[in-house]
Amino acid sequence: MDAAARDAGGLRSPHLHWTLLPLVAATVAYAWTLGGFFVSDDFAMLHRAMTARDWFEASHLPRTGHMSWLRPISQWSWWGQWGLFGLDPLGYRVFNLLFHGLNAALVAWLTGALVPGRGARWGGALAGVAFALAPIHPEAVTWISGRVDVLSTTGVLVALLAWVRFCREDGRRRHLLVAYFGLCFGLGAKEMACTLPALAAILWFARAGGTGRPRRTRLLGLVTLGVLVLSYFWLRFLVLDGLGGVTVKEGAEAGSLQARFDPMAALSFQLRALRLSLAPLHRNHHPGDWHLLRLAPLVGWALLVGLAAKAGGARKTLWDVGVLLALFVVSTAPIAGWGYVSDQSFMSTRYLYLPSVFAAVLFGVLAAGALARPRLAAGAALLVLVPWTYQLFEVNGTWVRAAAMSERLVTTLPSQAEVKRLCVTGLPDNTGGAYVMRVGFAHAVELFAERTDRVAVVEPHEWEAMRAEHLPKGARPEVFQRWDRDRGWVLEP
């Protein structure tokens, strides 16, 4: 991120055929998952799209349950695709994949904009490929409901690219307008984009894009980005009659989950998020903290840092690492105090989709700095990318199996003509970290099982009590059905 080199030679971005590499990598990695069924929250999103009466009702989830939000871009994508594809999951999955590929290409462009000289294409392409193949992304990409993070990241990347271009000596107001558009798009998809003004400020401090723009002009641009964020939350407050989010209604800690902040929990989250973004290890598949699939990427990262420091100087390399780690930390701030991600099963890693952009950019910046030793640099990059790719296919396989279980669960449920009233238990929350029926079963029944009455879902202790009460009174055994992972719907003896 050398400002002098940038001012002298301008920003270099990867050529088109280099930015196509991340798109191709994303397509190859995820194409085989496109035949999967809906899972979990997908059914609730489909039901919301089906029942929305107009564009405004489709834009938000009102305060009717334990959560509420204003995400018009994400919700309108469901609403529009419901009209196009109905209950066919293929179109919804292709949409997610296209935006993931676009994000990988945008990561390549952003890295190229931050790296001066001939390393822009090499570093940009590697950063984009790393982002496309990160094994923590299937929850955001393969899970259709994870699109909120994918779309929000698209807006943030567009805005950051436009901001860096605006900061150049030849930057124009239209670039700032594009940054406004990207911010609005990102906020409309998910509120995680609210960190954009802080991200732009860090890039300004790091002199990304050079020093050509007057300080007052850039400060005005930052202020207007902040005003847009505040306007979004003001609008959110009006529409939702509050800031929304996830609400806990029971116990001493009742209230908004997002309003809580625990500094120690935030630090623990940041460290876990960084570990998952740099050297992830799915310990459900590979027990042990120091498995080869984690050790190899750590060695690759260390080699890239060493090679970049030797070629460009330790001070410059540490500066680049520090700037990008600061971007990573700021991008996780909205969830660090209350969120959770599992390094055991990769559950909730959709929260790391945006922060992992800066891990991928760091990978590209270091690789570009290591170009003086191309063979060693290529070997170090492979030490990171090969284990990532292997685990990506493993995690995607888990989501494919979850989708198959969800389809079997929904399509084999007895119809209302067969059993008028139905009580079920044993619904699987997840399988190996991939959601199956955490929520949404009632909507799935209404959409796919030809039942007009909602099915009663009960806990095991309630199940036994209901059976003991109703079976002696002549209730049909078929009314009580339990889901078994191996046998499907079964009747208790």
pLDDT in tens, 427-446: 888 888 899 987 888 888 88
Q: Which of 400, 420, 435 is the last residue of a domain?
A: 400
3 state DSSP class of 62: coil
Question: Does 196 share its domain with 220?
Answer: yes
User: What is the model's pLDDT at position 456?
Assistant: 83
Backbone angles phi, psi at 457, to 5 degrees: -105, 120
Alpha carbon distance 142, 96 (integer Å)? 7
The answer to whether the CB of 448 falls within 8 A of the CB of 86 is no
Q: Which domain holds residue 351?
A: 3-249+260-400
User: What is the model's pLDDT at position 245?
Assistant: 60
Q: Which residues of the chain have pLDDT under 70?
A: 1-17, 63-67, 208-214, 242-261, 289, 452, 492-493
Q: Which two tokens stand for residue 350?
A: 């959709």
User: What is the model's pLDDT at position 142?
Assistant: 96
The answer to whether the CB of 187 falls within 8 A of the CB of 151 is no
DSSP 454: P
12 assigned to some structural domain: yes
Question: Does 265 share its domain with 161?
Answer: yes
Question: Does 344 share its domain with 416?
Answer: no
User: What is the model's pLDDT at position 332?
Assistant: 93
Q: Which of 400, 430, 452 is the last residue of a domain?
A: 400
Question: Does 419 share its domain with 394?
Answer: no
- Show Cβ contacts of residue 287 under 8 Å, excluding neighbours closer than 6 positions: none
Helices vs. strands in the chain: H and E counts, helices first: 19, 10
Q: Which of 350, 369, 400 is the last residue of a domain?
A: 400
User: What is the model's pLDDT at position 457?
Assistant: 86
Question: Does 379 share its domain with 424?
Answer: no
Question: Does 323 share its domain with 417?
Answer: no
The answer to whether the CB of 46 falls within 8 A of the CB of 82 is yes
CA-nearest of 119, 190, 182, 189 to 156 is 182
Q: How many domains does the chain have?
A: 2
Question: Does 396 share its domain with 434?
Answer: no
Distances (CA, A) of 196 to 21, 107, 119, 144, 230: 27, 15, 26, 25, 12
Question: Does 388 share its domain with 419?
Answer: no
Question: Does 394 share its domain with 476?
Answer: no
Alpha carbon distance 88, 82 (integer Å)? 9
DSSP output for 117-154: TTHHHHHHHHHHHHHHH-TT-HHHHTSGGGHHHHHHHH
407 assigned to some structural domain: no
Relative to beta strand 456-457, strand 423-425 is parallel
406 assigned to some structural domain: no
pLDDT tens figures, 34-70: 999 999 999 989 988 898 888 888 877 776 555 677 8
Question: Does 218 share its domain with 243?
Answer: yes
Question: Does 111 share its domain with 241?
Answer: yes
DSSP 356: H
In a 13 Å sphere around the CA of 366, the CA atoms on its Cβ side amount to 29
User: What is the model's pLDDT at position 173?
Assistant: 85
CA-nearest of 44, 42, 77 to 61 is 44
User: What is the model's pLDDT at position 182?
Assistant: 97
Question: Does 368 share its domain with 456?
Answer: no
Alpha carbon distance 220, 216 (integer Å)? 6
In single-letter form, the type of residue at position 247 comes to: T
